[in-house]
Amino acid sequence: MNLYPAGSRPSTRPNPDYFTGTVRMDPIAAAEPPSQVNALLVTFEPGARTAWHTHPLGQVLHILSGLCLAQVEGGPVMELRPGDTIRFAPGEKHWHGAAPEVAMQHLALQEDVDGRAADWMEKVTDAQYNGPRGTP
């Protein structure tokens, strides 16, 4: 058994090549073999968002606070609220982040494959971020 006392693992900032705006990540669980599961508490300041990306084994997001915007390639920008859970399929190109004027926090769950949990692509443009809204 491993216990990680509150405050024993520092918050980190993700690579700015893959994010727009201010984002903080707090570790929950790291993929320690034989497990492949990663869990992160991710906080996005208003307007912050990921770049387009995929996950080799998919990703689950559970929205904890604020207003989340998320989009899969070719679909509308969806609004997700606290208590909502969304699953992106393996290889599904998507992005997610906070609304323009409201911060957002989610729990992110994904699995490592050969030491990687995500494949990063181009940044989301302002036009994409502000695109037509739809419902999940």
Rounded Cα distance between 39 and 130, Å, is: 28
pTM of the model: 0.93
Q: What is the pLDDT of residue 10?
A: 93
Give the count of domains, the chain: 1
98, part of any domain: yes
Torsion 28-108-14-56 (CA) sign: positive
User: Which residues of the chain have a pLDDT value below 50?
Assistant: none
Q: What is the pLDDT of residue 136?
A: 64
2, part of any domain: no
76, part of any domain: yes
97, part of any domain: yes
* Residues whose CB is less than 8 angstroms from the CB of residue 69 and which lie 6 or more positions away in sequence, other chains included: 49, 77, 78, 79, 80, 96, 97, 98, 99, 129
Rounded Cα distance between 10 and 8, Å, is: 7
